[in-house]
Amino acid sequence: MKKFLAALLALVLVLSMLPAALAEEPITITVFRGDPGDQPTADNKIYKLIEEKFGVKFEFEFLAGNLDETLGLKIFGQDYPDLFDGGNSADLIIDGGALINLLDYVSPEKTPRLWAHIEPQKARLIEKDENGNDVLYIIPNYGLADGEQIALSVGGPAFFLQKQVMAWAGYPQIHTLNEYFDVIEKFLAANPTNADGTPYIGFDILCEDWRHFCLINPVQHLMGRPNDGEVLIDVSTSDFHTETFIDKPYAKAYYQKLNEEFHKGLISRDTFPMTYDQYIAQLSQGIVLGMFDQAWDFGTATSALLDAKMFENTYVALGLVYDPEYVDGKEIEEHYLNGSLPNVRRGFGISVNCQYPERIVNMWEEMLSDEWQLIFNWGIEGEDYYIENGRLLMTQEQYDNTQNATWKLANKAEAFTQSSPKKQGWIMNDIQVGDKVVTAGNCWEPGNQNEIVFGMMNDYDKEFLSHYGYSKWADFVNPPIELAPYGEAWQINYDPVDTEHTDFLKIQDQRLPELIMCDPAEFDAKWDAFVEEITPSATAFGNFMQQAVLDEVAKVLGE
């Protein structure tokens, strides 16, 4: 008996000394990302660390084709991965019953890091189900930042213009729609092709699937507002006056301008049926001079241009507004950058098919530690970055690696971390890393660290900014404005008016390209027909959004 007890104690002692991963059965977690992407390499060093620590491997599936159709097929067949990112159509998988309620696993007691992460924004994040119960299906992948907002660049919507166009034109200030297209027209007239003889494209419009925001959303920004999706909201009024903008006279001005540019040859007919992959390929070649988009949406093209050292073909984000002639002489103030906002219903949810929900949540909890967040953001100390006088720093080679798409597939875990809960903003407390200390006041993301942003900037960009007297790319737009109490209206669930909203978007997707390409002599008549056709669905959707905005304000303010 004594020998048995001694053996048992020895076994307990050995088990207690084993890494945590070995105390649990190794598992493979299936993952769906609602965006296109590339598979990480089999020897990716960060995934190897995750496997060693947590006993977890990942099997990734990236979007190929239409997002809504892909999600619809998965919902129909209940073919759910363990970790499910529905991208911009996450409402489909939530309403389809594909995700578990994370509040069954996340609480101040069980997961203090995760709870502290969401607690400041819980009024926006925690919803009610049909039975009145609190539910949380997705912990936002972005927007839950620590400290005051960092605005060094534009990561969201803007009119983008190649740096070489601005340099060729003598580094002008470009603030209005007419100024923007005027400089593209003049550059194209003088430079119809690149050095290889490939024709430049003046202005691209991406229309595929949910990315049709590149076609639809510019109007609200030209009117001086940040992104509220498909409505324009007057925050100066007590009722937050909300209206659809696409059917208003001020929207007509934008599409009539595009019609003019189309017939001048700046916009190709091929842009409207173009797929996202084709769009990225064009941008990656450096042949597209301008477009309206969100910076994160073409990040792979930016990486490709940087890899090729085609710095002059990368883009500046411009906050354009209407020229006064388009809006009855009114001077519009630009507000493209909004206050810090959680990315509601965007990121990973855990599916009802997952056999390991508690294990995944516990893994997220541990991964929100300072140590793991440094690994995910900065890499391995001494290999991917170094610490000097408490500051997180990189050599030029280390920084160049972070801009290399191929290197990242072997040395970063972006396919997992981009959709997972994460720390952003400022590092608020000192962190011990081996025998060194990372002091508070560093940034979680290398792209926000002053020494990285300015010290590692390529010479072309340094010179480019110097011509404007600017120190950062966000200087081309106004500072962020105060976030409205409803957040951003695109995050509101449209399900109660799904039929009307679907019809509203379908009409735009069909008619707006027709308006841009039609004979200019027919534009007015076709615009009037468009407004008449869309009015029923626009009215229903607009009325719903007006009340939904007020309801969201009341919820957030606790009224």
Give per-residue pLDDT as tens, 508-536: 999 999 999 999 999 999 999 999 999 99
Reported in sequence order, the residue ranges of 193-300 that DSSP labels E, i.e. its strands, are 201-204, 231-234, 241-244, 288-294
Q: What confidence score (pLDDT) does residue 126 get?
A: 93
Query: Does the pLDDT at position 336 exceed 80?
Result: yes
pLDDT for the residue numbered 348: 98
Residue 21 pLDDT > 60: no
The C-alpha angle 486, 488, 494, rounded to 5 degrees, equals 90
Sequence-distant (6+) residues with CB within 8 A of 464 are 163, 166, 167, 171
Q: What is the mean pLDDT of residues 114-139?
A: 93
Average pLDDT of span 114-140: 93
> Kind of pairing, strands 386-388 and 391-393?
antiparallel
Tell me the two tokens of residue 463.
């010179």
The chain-wide mean pLDDT, for the chain, equals 93
Report the C-alpha gap between 220 and 59 in whole angstroms.
40
* The pair of three-digit structure tokens given for residue 278, joined into one six-digit string: 């084709």
Mean predicted confidence (pLDDT) in 323-339:
94
Region 99-128: mean pLDDT is 95
Predicted local distance difference test score (pLDDT) of residue 559: 60
Per-residue confidence (pLDDT) for residue 5, from 0 to 100: 38
Summarised one tens digit per residue, pLDDT across range 188-218 is 999 999 999 999 999 999 999 889 999 999 9
* Of the candidate ranges 14-23, 193-202, 348-357, the one whose mean pLDDT is the lowest: 14-23
Can you tell me the distance from the alpha carbon of 61 to that of 127, in angstroms, rounded to the nearest whole number?
A: 28
The confidence band for 130, taking pLDDT boundaries of 50, 70 and 90, is confident
Report the alpha-carbon distance of residue 46 to residue 54 in Å, rounded.
12
Return the H-helix or E-strand segment holding 317: strand 315-318
The DSSP symbol for 389 reads T
pLDDT of residue 556: 85
Four-residue CA torsion sign, 154, 508, 499, 64: negative
In the predicted model, is pLDDT for residue 295 greater than 70?
yes
Q: How far is CA 183 from CA 191, 206, 223, in A?
A: 12, 21, 21
pLDDT for position 13: 39
pTM listed for this prediction: 0.84
CB 424 within 8 A of CB 445: yes
Helix H, strand E, coil C: the string for 345-365 is: CCCEEEECCCCCHHHHHHHHH
Q: Mean per-residue pLDDT for 324-346? A: 92
Q: Which two tokens stand for residue 207?
A: 């229309």
CA dist 52 to 20, 147, 315, 537, 549, Å?
9, 33, 40, 54, 47
Domains plus CATH for the chain? 26-148+342-452 (3.40.190.10), 157-336+458-557 (3.40.190.10)
**Percent helix / strand / coil, the chain, rounded to 5:** 50, 15, 35
Contact 438, 289 (CB under 8 A): no
* Residue 526 pLDDT: 98
